Structure 1
Amino acid sequence: MGSKAHKLTLSTGIEVPCFIDGDPDARPLLLLHAWGESFESFDRLAPLLAGFRIYAPDLRGQGDADKPEDGYSLAEQAADVAAILDALEVPRAFVLGSSSGGYVAQALAAGRPERVAALVLVGAPLSLRGRPAFADEVETLVDPIGAAWVRESLTWFPLLHEVPAWFIDDRVDDGTRMPAHVWRAILKGLCEAAPPTESGTIATPTLVLWGGHDHLLSLADEQALAARIAGSVLKVYPDTGHLVLWECPERVAADTTDFLRSVG
Protein backbone atom coordinates (compact mmCIF):
# COMPACT_ATOMS: atom_id res chain seq x y z
CA MET A 1 0.00 0.00 0.00
CA GLY A 2 2.90 2.35 0.64
CA SER A 3 3.50 3.09 -3.04
CA LYS A 4 0.17 4.92 -3.16
CA ALA A 5 0.82 7.03 -0.06
CA HIS A 6 0.64 10.80 -0.36
CA LYS A 7 2.21 13.19 2.13
CA LEU A 8 -0.28 15.57 3.73
CA THR A 9 0.57 18.73 5.66
CA LEU A 10 -2.14 19.31 8.24
CA SER A 11 -3.45 22.53 9.71
CA THR A 12 -2.67 21.02 13.12
CA GLY A 13 1.02 21.39 12.28
CA ILE A 14 2.16 17.89 11.40
CA GLU A 15 2.80 15.84 8.28
CA VAL A 16 1.26 12.42 7.74
CA PRO A 17 1.28 9.97 4.84
CA CYS A 18 -2.09 8.83 3.52
CA PHE A 19 -2.75 5.83 1.29
CA ILE A 20 -5.25 6.72 -1.45
CA ASP A 21 -6.87 4.28 -3.84
CA GLY A 22 -10.06 3.73 -5.81
CA ASP A 23 -12.21 5.68 -8.23
CA PRO A 24 -11.96 9.42 -7.46
CA ASP A 25 -15.70 9.70 -8.05
CA ALA A 26 -16.59 6.89 -5.62
CA ARG A 27 -17.89 7.53 -2.12
CA PRO A 28 -14.97 8.32 0.24
CA LEU A 29 -14.14 5.84 3.00
CA LEU A 30 -11.58 6.87 5.64
CA LEU A 31 -9.80 4.04 7.49
CA LEU A 32 -8.39 4.75 10.98
CA HIS A 33 -5.86 2.28 12.36
CA ALA A 34 -5.37 1.12 15.95
CA TRP A 35 -2.83 2.28 18.54
CA GLY A 36 0.64 1.03 17.66
CA GLU A 37 -0.18 0.29 14.02
CA SER A 38 -0.09 2.14 10.68
CA PHE A 39 -2.21 2.40 7.56
CA GLU A 40 -0.54 -0.80 6.40
CA SER A 41 -2.70 -2.68 8.91
CA PHE A 42 -5.39 -2.30 6.22
CA ASP A 43 -3.30 -4.13 3.62
CA ARG A 44 -5.66 -7.11 3.68
CA LEU A 45 -8.89 -5.11 3.98
CA ALA A 46 -8.50 -2.22 1.54
CA PRO A 47 -8.33 -4.36 -1.65
CA LEU A 48 -11.67 -5.92 -0.67
CA LEU A 49 -13.50 -2.59 -0.36
CA ALA A 50 -14.41 -2.21 -4.02
CA GLY A 51 -16.61 0.70 -4.98
CA PHE A 52 -15.15 3.20 -2.51
CA ARG A 53 -12.45 5.85 -2.68
CA ILE A 54 -10.14 4.65 0.10
CA TYR A 55 -8.17 7.02 2.31
CA ALA A 56 -5.96 5.46 5.00
CA PRO A 57 -3.62 7.81 6.90
CA ASP A 58 -0.89 7.13 9.40
CA LEU A 59 -2.06 8.89 12.56
CA ARG A 60 0.12 11.24 14.63
CA GLY A 61 3.10 9.51 16.18
CA GLN A 62 2.62 6.26 14.29
CA GLY A 63 3.85 4.72 11.05
CA ASP A 64 5.68 7.38 9.07
CA ALA A 65 3.70 10.30 10.49
CA ASP A 66 5.44 13.06 12.45
CA LYS A 67 6.09 12.12 16.06
CA PRO A 68 5.94 15.31 18.16
CA GLU A 69 6.12 15.29 21.94
CA ASP A 70 2.48 16.24 22.41
CA GLY A 71 -0.93 16.36 20.73
CA TYR A 72 -2.13 12.89 21.72
CA SER A 73 -5.33 13.56 23.66
CA LEU A 74 -8.43 11.98 22.14
CA ALA A 75 -9.74 15.43 21.16
CA GLU A 76 -6.44 16.27 19.45
CA GLN A 77 -6.42 12.94 17.62
CA ALA A 78 -9.94 13.65 16.34
CA ALA A 79 -8.84 17.15 15.31
CA ASP A 80 -6.02 15.58 13.31
CA VAL A 81 -8.53 13.39 11.48
CA ALA A 82 -10.69 16.40 10.63
CA ALA A 83 -7.53 18.14 9.38
CA ILE A 84 -6.72 15.08 7.25
CA LEU A 85 -10.15 15.35 5.61
CA ASP A 86 -9.50 19.07 5.05
CA ALA A 87 -6.13 18.36 3.44
CA LEU A 88 -7.74 15.74 1.21
CA GLU A 89 -10.52 18.19 0.34
CA VAL A 90 -13.09 15.62 1.45
CA PRO A 91 -15.90 17.41 3.28
CA ARG A 92 -17.72 14.25 4.40
CA ALA A 93 -16.77 10.57 4.44
CA PHE A 94 -17.68 7.15 5.67
CA VAL A 95 -15.29 6.33 8.54
CA LEU A 96 -14.11 2.87 9.62
CA GLY A 97 -12.06 2.65 12.80
CA SER A 98 -10.27 -0.44 14.11
CA SER A 99 -9.93 -0.83 17.90
CA SER A 100 -8.74 2.54 19.29
CA GLY A 101 -9.12 3.97 15.78
CA GLY A 102 -12.82 3.39 16.35
CA TYR A 103 -12.62 5.47 19.53
CA VAL A 104 -11.09 8.31 17.53
CA ALA A 105 -13.83 7.83 14.92
CA GLN A 106 -16.47 8.16 17.64
CA ALA A 107 -14.86 11.39 18.87
CA LEU A 108 -14.92 12.76 15.32
CA ALA A 109 -18.58 11.81 14.84
CA ALA A 110 -19.59 13.30 18.20
CA GLY A 111 -17.65 16.55 17.75
CA ARG A 112 -17.91 17.09 14.00
CA PRO A 113 -20.98 15.16 12.83
CA GLU A 114 -21.05 17.01 9.53
CA ARG A 115 -17.81 15.26 8.53
CA VAL A 116 -19.06 11.68 9.05
CA ALA A 117 -21.61 10.08 6.71
CA ALA A 118 -21.57 6.73 8.53
CA LEU A 119 -19.41 4.82 11.02
CA VAL A 120 -18.07 1.27 11.07
CA LEU A 121 -16.57 0.45 14.47
CA VAL A 122 -14.44 -2.72 14.39
CA GLY A 123 -13.58 -3.97 17.88
CA ALA A 124 -13.95 -0.41 19.16
CA PRO A 125 -14.45 0.47 22.84
CA LEU A 126 -17.37 2.10 24.60
CA SER A 127 -14.94 3.53 27.15
CA LEU A 128 -11.22 3.37 27.90
CA ARG A 129 -11.39 5.06 31.29
CA GLY A 130 -9.01 3.58 33.77
CA ARG A 131 -5.82 1.66 33.08
CA PRO A 132 -5.71 -1.62 31.18
CA ALA A 133 -3.54 -4.34 32.66
CA PHE A 134 -0.72 -3.66 30.22
CA ALA A 135 -0.47 0.08 30.99
CA ASP A 136 2.20 -0.43 33.67
CA GLU A 137 4.35 -2.28 31.15
CA VAL A 138 3.98 0.53 28.63
CA GLU A 139 5.09 3.03 31.25
CA THR A 140 8.46 1.26 31.55
CA LEU A 141 9.30 1.47 27.83
CA VAL A 142 12.55 3.13 26.74
CA ASP A 143 13.95 3.78 23.29
CA PRO A 144 14.65 2.06 21.05
CA ILE A 145 11.58 -0.15 21.12
CA GLY A 146 12.67 -3.71 20.46
CA ALA A 147 10.97 -6.10 18.06
CA ALA A 148 10.89 -8.81 20.74
CA TRP A 149 8.84 -6.59 23.09
CA VAL A 150 6.40 -5.61 20.32
CA ARG A 151 5.92 -9.24 19.29
CA GLU A 152 5.30 -10.22 22.90
CA SER A 153 2.80 -7.36 23.31
CA LEU A 154 0.67 -8.86 20.56
CA THR A 155 -0.15 -11.72 22.93
CA TRP A 156 -2.27 -9.24 24.92
CA PHE A 157 -4.89 -9.87 22.21
CA PRO A 158 -5.09 -13.64 21.48
CA LEU A 159 -5.87 -14.72 17.93
CA LEU A 160 -8.38 -17.47 17.20
CA HIS A 161 -7.74 -17.54 13.45
CA GLU A 162 -4.50 -17.97 11.58
CA VAL A 163 -3.09 -14.61 10.48
CA PRO A 164 -0.36 -14.49 7.80
CA ALA A 165 3.15 -14.31 9.24
CA TRP A 166 4.05 -11.40 6.97
CA PHE A 167 1.14 -9.40 8.40
CA ILE A 168 2.28 -10.05 11.97
CA ASP A 169 5.85 -9.09 11.01
CA ASP A 170 4.58 -5.82 9.54
CA ARG A 171 2.72 -4.99 12.77
CA VAL A 172 5.90 -5.66 14.73
CA ASP A 173 7.67 -3.23 12.40
CA ASP A 174 4.91 -0.68 13.07
CA GLY A 175 5.54 -0.98 16.79
CA THR A 176 9.29 -0.54 16.57
CA ARG A 177 8.82 2.68 14.59
CA MET A 178 6.96 4.28 17.50
CA PRO A 179 9.14 5.95 20.15
CA ALA A 180 8.44 5.19 23.79
CA HIS A 181 6.91 8.61 24.48
CA VAL A 182 4.31 8.03 21.76
CA TRP A 183 3.36 4.61 23.08
CA ARG A 184 2.75 6.22 26.47
CA ALA A 185 1.11 9.43 25.30
CA ILE A 186 -1.46 7.83 23.02
CA LEU A 187 -2.52 5.32 25.67
CA LYS A 188 -2.75 8.11 28.26
CA GLY A 189 -4.82 10.26 25.92
CA LEU A 190 -7.23 7.41 25.24
CA CYS A 191 -7.61 6.41 28.89
CA GLU A 192 -8.04 9.93 30.26
CA ALA A 193 -10.68 11.04 27.76
CA ALA A 194 -14.38 11.10 28.49
CA PRO A 195 -16.02 8.48 26.27
CA PRO A 196 -17.39 10.19 23.13
CA THR A 197 -20.88 8.77 23.71
CA GLU A 198 -20.90 10.48 27.12
CA SER A 199 -19.34 13.80 26.14
CA GLY A 200 -21.50 14.16 23.03
CA THR A 201 -24.14 12.51 20.90
CA ILE A 202 -23.51 10.32 17.89
CA ALA A 203 -26.45 10.33 15.49
CA THR A 204 -24.53 8.91 12.53
CA PRO A 205 -25.60 5.55 11.03
CA THR A 206 -23.27 3.06 12.70
CA LEU A 207 -22.27 -0.58 12.34
CA VAL A 208 -20.56 -2.11 15.41
CA LEU A 209 -18.52 -5.28 14.81
CA TRP A 210 -17.31 -7.21 17.87
CA GLY A 211 -15.50 -10.50 18.41
CA GLY A 212 -17.22 -12.89 20.79
CA HIS A 213 -13.90 -13.87 22.40
CA ASP A 214 -12.73 -10.29 22.96
CA HIS A 215 -11.21 -10.25 26.47
CA LEU A 216 -10.59 -6.49 26.39
CA LEU A 217 -14.10 -5.32 25.48
CA SER A 218 -17.23 -6.95 26.90
CA LEU A 219 -20.47 -7.78 25.14
CA ALA A 220 -22.30 -5.62 27.67
CA ASP A 221 -20.14 -2.64 26.73
CA GLU A 222 -20.67 -3.20 23.01
CA GLN A 223 -24.42 -3.48 23.56
CA ALA A 224 -24.29 -0.23 25.53
CA LEU A 225 -22.27 1.41 22.75
CA ALA A 226 -24.86 0.37 20.17
CA ALA A 227 -27.70 1.50 22.44
CA ARG A 228 -26.20 4.99 22.77
CA ILE A 229 -26.11 5.45 18.98
CA ALA A 230 -29.68 5.61 17.74
CA GLY A 231 -30.40 3.17 14.95
CA SER A 232 -27.01 1.47 15.10
CA VAL A 233 -26.46 -2.19 14.27
CA LEU A 234 -24.36 -4.56 16.42
CA LYS A 235 -22.98 -7.67 14.75
CA VAL A 236 -21.12 -10.28 16.80
CA TYR A 237 -18.48 -12.53 15.27
CA PRO A 238 -18.65 -15.40 17.79
CA ASP A 239 -15.40 -17.06 16.75
CA THR A 240 -12.99 -14.11 16.84
CA GLY A 241 -11.08 -12.17 19.47
CA HIS A 242 -10.38 -8.46 19.87
CA LEU A 243 -8.41 -8.13 16.62
CA VAL A 244 -11.39 -8.60 14.33
CA LEU A 245 -9.68 -6.76 11.48
CA TRP A 246 -6.66 -9.09 11.62
CA GLU A 247 -8.64 -12.30 11.93
CA CYS A 248 -11.37 -11.93 9.32
CA PRO A 249 -10.84 -9.03 6.89
CA GLU A 250 -13.08 -10.70 4.31
CA ARG A 251 -16.07 -10.70 6.66
CA VAL A 252 -15.35 -7.14 7.76
CA ALA A 253 -15.17 -6.02 4.12
CA ALA A 254 -18.42 -7.76 3.19
CA ASP A 255 -20.35 -6.43 6.18
CA THR A 256 -18.90 -2.93 5.75
CA THR A 257 -19.78 -2.84 2.06
CA ASP A 258 -23.33 -4.08 2.64
CA PHE A 259 -23.92 -1.62 5.48
CA LEU A 260 -22.51 1.44 3.74
CA ARG A 261 -24.47 0.69 0.59
CA SER A 262 -27.64 0.39 2.71
CA VAL A 263 -27.18 3.88 4.17
CA GLY A 264 -26.35 5.52 0.86
Structure 2
Amino acid sequence: MKAVSNNDIVIRYREDGRRDGPVLLFSNSLGTDLQVWDKVVPAFTGDFRVLRYDTRGHGLSDAPAAPYSLDDHVGDMLAVMDDAGVERAILVGLSVGGLIAQGVAARAPERVRALVLSNTAHRIGSVESWTQRMDAISAGGIASIADAILERWFSAAFRRERAAELAVWRNMLVRTPAQGYLGTCAALRDGDLTAAAARIAVPTLCLAGSEDGATPPDLVRSTAGLIPGARFHLIDGAGHIPGVENPEAVIAAIRTFLKENDLV
Protein backbone atom coordinates (compact mmCIF):
# COMPACT_ATOMS: atom_id res chain seq x y z
CA MET A 1 0.00 0.00 0.00
CA LYS A 2 1.18 3.51 -0.85
CA ALA A 3 -0.23 6.95 -0.17
CA VAL A 4 0.15 10.52 -1.40
CA SER A 5 -1.10 13.81 0.01
CA ASN A 6 -2.79 16.18 -2.43
CA ASN A 7 -3.57 19.52 -0.79
CA ASP A 8 -3.62 17.76 2.58
CA ILE A 9 -6.00 15.04 1.34
CA VAL A 10 -4.41 11.59 1.60
CA ILE A 11 -5.04 9.23 -1.32
CA ARG A 12 -4.29 5.52 -0.94
CA TYR A 13 -2.95 3.73 -4.01
CA ARG A 14 -1.46 0.37 -4.93
CA GLU A 15 1.12 -0.76 -7.46
CA ASP A 16 1.40 -4.16 -9.14
CA GLY A 17 3.14 -5.65 -12.16
CA ARG A 18 6.32 -4.76 -13.98
CA ARG A 19 8.16 -1.77 -12.60
CA ASP A 20 9.64 -1.09 -16.06
CA GLY A 21 6.41 -1.67 -18.00
CA PRO A 22 4.05 0.83 -19.60
CA VAL A 23 1.56 2.17 -17.06
CA LEU A 24 -2.11 1.33 -16.68
CA LEU A 25 -3.88 3.50 -14.09
CA PHE A 26 -7.31 2.32 -12.87
CA SER A 27 -9.91 4.55 -11.19
CA ASN A 28 -12.98 3.24 -9.32
CA SER A 29 -16.65 4.14 -9.38
CA LEU A 30 -18.89 5.95 -6.90
CA GLY A 31 -19.48 3.76 -3.84
CA THR A 32 -16.58 1.33 -4.46
CA ASP A 33 -12.81 1.31 -3.97
CA LEU A 34 -9.78 -0.04 -5.81
CA GLN A 35 -10.95 -3.62 -5.13
CA VAL A 36 -13.50 -3.18 -7.90
CA TRP A 37 -10.62 -4.01 -10.28
CA ASP A 38 -9.42 -7.15 -8.45
CA LYS A 39 -10.57 -9.53 -11.19
CA VAL A 40 -9.17 -7.42 -14.04
CA VAL A 41 -5.74 -6.26 -12.88
CA PRO A 42 -3.96 -9.67 -12.72
CA ALA A 43 -4.43 -10.12 -16.47
CA PHE A 44 -2.17 -7.11 -17.13
CA THR A 45 0.58 -7.35 -14.52
CA GLY A 46 2.80 -9.47 -16.76
CA ASP A 47 3.20 -6.68 -19.31
CA PHE A 48 2.29 -3.48 -17.45
CA ARG A 49 3.02 -1.48 -14.35
CA VAL A 50 -0.48 -1.25 -12.86
CA LEU A 51 -1.60 1.50 -10.50
CA ARG A 52 -4.99 1.83 -8.86
CA TYR A 53 -6.22 4.09 -6.11
CA ASP A 54 -9.18 4.85 -3.87
CA THR A 55 -11.05 7.92 -5.06
CA ARG A 56 -11.19 10.62 -2.38
CA GLY A 57 -14.02 9.89 0.02
CA HIS A 58 -13.77 6.14 -0.66
CA GLY A 59 -11.87 3.14 0.66
CA LEU A 60 -8.80 4.10 2.68
CA SER A 61 -8.41 7.57 1.15
CA ASP A 62 -9.41 10.63 3.16
CA ALA A 63 -13.06 11.65 3.15
CA PRO A 64 -13.12 15.43 3.60
CA ALA A 65 -16.39 17.30 3.99
CA ALA A 66 -18.58 17.55 0.90
CA PRO A 67 -18.80 18.93 -1.71
CA TYR A 68 -15.97 17.92 -4.06
CA SER A 69 -15.42 19.13 -7.60
CA LEU A 70 -14.41 17.07 -10.60
CA ASP A 71 -11.24 19.17 -10.61
CA ASP A 72 -10.47 17.91 -7.08
CA HIS A 73 -10.66 14.33 -8.35
CA VAL A 74 -8.54 15.14 -11.40
CA GLY A 75 -5.89 16.60 -9.10
CA ASP A 76 -5.90 13.41 -7.04
CA MET A 77 -5.28 11.22 -10.08
CA LEU A 78 -2.42 13.44 -11.20
CA ALA A 79 -1.00 13.40 -7.67
CA VAL A 80 -0.91 9.58 -7.75
CA MET A 81 0.93 9.71 -11.08
CA ASP A 82 3.40 12.26 -9.75
CA ASP A 83 4.08 10.32 -6.56
CA ALA A 84 4.66 7.14 -8.54
CA GLY A 85 6.99 8.94 -10.95
CA VAL A 86 4.71 8.34 -13.94
CA GLU A 87 4.89 10.80 -16.82
CA ARG A 88 2.23 9.20 -19.05
CA ALA A 89 -0.33 6.47 -18.50
CA ILE A 90 -3.19 4.64 -20.09
CA LEU A 91 -6.14 5.65 -17.92
CA VAL A 92 -8.90 3.13 -17.21
CA GLY A 93 -11.88 4.69 -15.46
CA LEU A 94 -15.17 3.19 -14.32
CA SER A 95 -18.21 5.49 -14.08
CA VAL A 96 -17.02 8.60 -12.21
CA GLY A 97 -13.51 7.21 -12.71
CA GLY A 98 -14.07 7.56 -16.43
CA LEU A 99 -15.20 11.14 -15.99
CA ILE A 100 -12.04 11.80 -13.94
CA ALA A 101 -9.91 10.24 -16.69
CA GLN A 102 -11.52 12.53 -19.25
CA GLY A 103 -10.82 15.44 -16.93
CA VAL A 104 -7.13 14.53 -16.81
CA ALA A 105 -7.08 14.35 -20.61
CA ALA A 106 -8.59 17.85 -20.69
CA ARG A 107 -6.29 19.40 -18.07
CA ALA A 108 -3.05 17.59 -18.86
CA PRO A 109 -3.31 15.84 -22.25
CA GLU A 110 0.44 15.26 -22.33
CA ARG A 111 0.05 12.84 -19.39
CA VAL A 112 -2.37 10.51 -21.23
CA ARG A 113 -1.41 7.77 -23.71
CA ALA A 114 -4.90 6.36 -24.14
CA LEU A 115 -8.28 6.10 -22.41
CA VAL A 116 -10.49 3.15 -21.51
CA LEU A 117 -13.82 4.64 -20.41
CA SER A 118 -15.98 1.96 -18.81
CA ASN A 119 -19.67 2.58 -18.17
CA THR A 120 -19.30 6.32 -18.15
CA ALA A 121 -20.13 9.38 -20.21
CA HIS A 122 -19.23 12.98 -20.93
CA ARG A 123 -21.99 13.84 -18.45
CA ILE A 124 -23.70 11.40 -16.08
CA GLY A 125 -27.20 12.18 -14.82
CA SER A 126 -28.70 15.60 -14.31
CA VAL A 127 -28.58 18.28 -11.66
CA GLU A 128 -32.06 17.21 -10.57
CA SER A 129 -31.27 13.49 -10.30
CA TRP A 130 -28.08 14.05 -8.30
CA THR A 131 -29.79 16.57 -6.03
CA GLN A 132 -32.56 14.05 -5.33
CA ARG A 133 -30.02 11.34 -4.52
CA MET A 134 -28.06 13.63 -2.22
CA ASP A 135 -31.24 14.68 -0.43
CA ALA A 136 -32.23 11.03 0.07
CA ILE A 137 -28.82 10.14 1.51
CA SER A 138 -28.79 13.19 3.78
CA ALA A 139 -32.18 12.13 5.12
CA GLY A 140 -31.76 8.36 5.42
CA GLY A 141 -28.15 7.41 4.72
CA ILE A 142 -26.74 5.40 1.83
CA ALA A 143 -28.48 2.25 3.06
CA SER A 144 -31.87 3.83 2.34
CA ILE A 145 -31.21 3.74 -1.42
CA ALA A 146 -28.66 0.90 -1.61
CA ASP A 147 -30.97 -1.68 -3.16
CA ALA A 148 -31.96 0.70 -5.95
CA ILE A 149 -28.29 1.40 -6.64
CA LEU A 150 -27.46 -2.30 -6.77
CA GLU A 151 -30.19 -2.81 -9.36
CA ARG A 152 -28.32 -0.39 -11.61
CA TRP A 153 -24.91 -1.87 -10.79
CA PHE A 154 -25.67 -5.49 -11.58
CA SER A 155 -27.83 -7.46 -13.98
CA ALA A 156 -30.89 -9.34 -12.76
CA ALA A 157 -29.05 -12.62 -13.34
CA PHE A 158 -26.12 -11.55 -11.13
CA ARG A 159 -28.43 -10.43 -8.36
CA ARG A 160 -30.36 -13.69 -8.53
CA GLU A 161 -27.50 -16.17 -8.91
CA ARG A 162 -24.63 -14.56 -6.99
CA ALA A 163 -26.34 -13.41 -3.81
CA ALA A 164 -23.28 -13.72 -1.57
CA GLU A 165 -21.19 -11.54 -3.87
CA LEU A 166 -24.03 -9.06 -4.11
CA ALA A 167 -24.12 -8.81 -0.31
CA VAL A 168 -20.39 -8.01 -0.21
CA TRP A 169 -20.79 -5.21 -2.76
CA ARG A 170 -23.74 -3.87 -0.81
CA ASN A 171 -21.54 -3.82 2.29
CA MET A 172 -18.91 -1.83 0.44
CA LEU A 173 -21.50 0.63 -0.80
CA VAL A 174 -23.21 1.30 2.53
CA ARG A 175 -19.89 1.56 4.39
CA THR A 176 -18.67 4.32 2.08
CA PRO A 177 -18.32 7.49 4.18
CA ALA A 178 -21.43 9.60 3.70
CA GLN A 179 -19.34 12.72 3.13
CA GLY A 180 -17.28 10.88 0.53
CA TYR A 181 -20.35 9.70 -1.32
CA LEU A 182 -22.11 13.07 -1.12
CA GLY A 183 -18.96 14.93 -2.11
CA THR A 184 -18.53 12.83 -5.23
CA CYS A 185 -22.22 13.12 -6.06
CA ALA A 186 -21.65 16.89 -6.13
CA ALA A 187 -18.75 16.42 -8.54
CA LEU A 188 -21.00 14.33 -10.79
CA ARG A 189 -23.83 16.83 -10.48
CA ASP A 190 -21.60 19.65 -11.67
CA GLY A 191 -19.31 17.75 -14.03
CA ASP A 192 -19.90 18.24 -17.75
CA LEU A 193 -17.15 17.33 -20.22
CA THR A 194 -19.27 17.48 -23.36
CA ALA A 195 -17.11 20.15 -24.99
CA ALA A 196 -13.86 18.63 -23.74
CA ALA A 197 -14.70 15.21 -25.21
CA ALA A 198 -14.38 16.53 -28.74
CA ARG A 199 -10.79 17.59 -28.01
CA ILE A 200 -9.57 14.17 -26.82
CA ALA A 201 -6.75 13.21 -29.15
CA VAL A 202 -5.64 9.80 -27.88
CA PRO A 203 -6.94 6.30 -28.66
CA THR A 204 -10.13 5.74 -26.69
CA LEU A 205 -12.24 2.68 -25.92
CA CYS A 206 -15.75 3.14 -24.50
CA LEU A 207 -17.18 0.07 -22.75
CA ALA A 208 -20.86 -0.38 -21.92
CA GLY A 209 -22.93 -3.08 -20.25
CA SER A 210 -26.15 -4.06 -21.96
CA GLU A 211 -27.96 -4.19 -18.59
CA ASP A 212 -26.44 -1.01 -17.15
CA GLY A 213 -29.10 1.07 -15.40
CA ALA A 214 -26.75 3.92 -14.45
CA THR A 215 -25.03 4.71 -17.75
CA PRO A 216 -27.10 2.89 -20.40
CA PRO A 217 -25.43 1.76 -23.63
CA ASP A 218 -26.89 4.59 -25.70
CA LEU A 219 -25.35 7.16 -23.35
CA VAL A 220 -21.93 5.51 -23.56
CA ARG A 221 -22.30 5.23 -27.34
CA SER A 222 -23.09 8.93 -27.55
CA THR A 223 -19.89 9.70 -25.65
CA ALA A 224 -17.89 7.56 -28.06
CA GLY A 225 -19.48 9.57 -30.84
CA LEU A 226 -18.13 12.80 -29.39
CA ILE A 227 -14.52 11.57 -29.11
CA PRO A 228 -12.64 11.51 -32.42
CA GLY A 229 -11.88 7.93 -33.45
CA ALA A 230 -13.25 6.36 -30.25
CA ARG A 231 -14.31 2.73 -30.34
CA PHE A 232 -17.53 1.54 -28.66
CA HIS A 233 -17.79 -1.99 -27.27
CA LEU A 234 -20.89 -3.55 -25.68
CA ILE A 235 -20.58 -6.27 -23.04
CA ASP A 236 -23.74 -8.32 -23.27
CA GLY A 237 -25.53 -9.23 -20.07
CA ALA A 238 -23.48 -6.98 -17.78
CA GLY A 239 -24.63 -4.10 -15.63
CA HIS A 240 -22.75 -1.00 -14.50
CA ILE A 241 -19.69 -2.84 -13.15
CA PRO A 242 -18.71 -5.38 -15.82
CA GLY A 243 -15.24 -5.82 -14.34
CA VAL A 244 -16.94 -7.63 -11.46
CA GLU A 245 -19.75 -9.29 -13.36
CA ASN A 246 -17.85 -10.38 -16.49
CA PRO A 247 -14.13 -9.63 -16.04
CA GLU A 248 -13.13 -11.92 -18.89
CA ALA A 249 -15.06 -9.79 -21.37
CA VAL A 250 -13.55 -6.58 -20.00
CA ILE A 251 -10.03 -8.04 -20.16
CA ALA A 252 -10.53 -9.26 -23.74
CA ALA A 253 -11.86 -5.89 -24.89
CA ILE A 254 -9.00 -3.96 -23.29
CA ARG A 255 -6.37 -6.37 -24.62
CA THR A 256 -7.72 -6.06 -28.16
CA PHE A 257 -7.78 -2.28 -27.89
CA LEU A 258 -4.21 -2.12 -26.58
CA LYS A 259 -2.89 -4.38 -29.33
CA GLU A 260 -4.75 -2.54 -32.08
CA ASN A 261 -3.18 0.72 -30.96
CA ASP A 262 0.34 -0.62 -30.32
CA LEU A 263 0.09 0.20 -26.62
CA VAL A 264 1.54 -3.02 -25.24
TM-score scaled to structure 2, two decimals? Answer: 0.86
1:190-209 equivalences in 2 (<5 Å): 190-195=188-193, 197-198=195-196, 201-209=199-207
Q: Which moved more, 1:79-88 or 1:172-181?
A: 172-181
Residue by residue, what CA displacement relative to the aligned partner does 1:10-60 show, whole Å, maximum 9, x if unpaired? 333211211211010111100000011100111111112242111110111
Q: CA deviation at 1:144?
A: 9.6
1:96-135 equivalences in 2 (<5 Å): 96-128=92-124, 130-131=126-127, 133=129, 135=131
| Structure 2 unpaired stretches of 5+ | none
Secondary structure in structure 2 of the residue aligned to 1:10? strand
Matched, 1:212 2:214: no
1:241-260 equivalences in 2 (<5 Å): 241-260=239-258
Distance (Å, rounded) in 1 between the aligned partners of 2:243 and 2:195: 23
Letter in 2 for 1:20: E
Distance (Å, rounded) in 1 between the aligned partners of 2:224 and 2:105: 14
8 Å Cα contact 2:69/2:186 also seen in 1:
yes
Letter in 1 for 2:82: D
Q: Percent identity?
A: 27
Residue by residue, what CA displacement relative to the aligned partner does 1:124-182 show, whole Å, maximum 9, x if unpaired? 12312514757524423259957675355312334145375554344333323322222
Aligned counterpart for 2:43 among listed residues 44, 48, 53: 48
Distance (Å, rounded) in 1 between the aligned partners of 2:258 and 2:232: 14
Secondary structure in structure 2 of the residue aligned to 1:140? helix
Letter in 2 for 1:262: E
| Structure 1 unpaired stretches of 5+ | none
Distance (Å, rounded) in 2 between the aligned partners of 1:245 and 1:197: 28
8 Å Cα contact 2:204/2:230 also seen in 1:
yes
Residue by residue, what CA displacement relative to the aligned partner does 1:171-198 show, whole Å, maximum 9, x if unpaired? 3333233222222221121121222544
| More helix, by proportion | 2
TM-score scaled to structure 1, two decimals? Answer: 0.86
Question: Which residue in the other structure is 2:60 paired with?
Answer: 64
Q: Which moved more, 1:115-124 or 1:66-75?
A: 66-75
Distance (Å, rounded) in 2 between the aligned partners of 1:115 and 1:242: 27
Q: CA deviation at 1:93?
A: 0.6
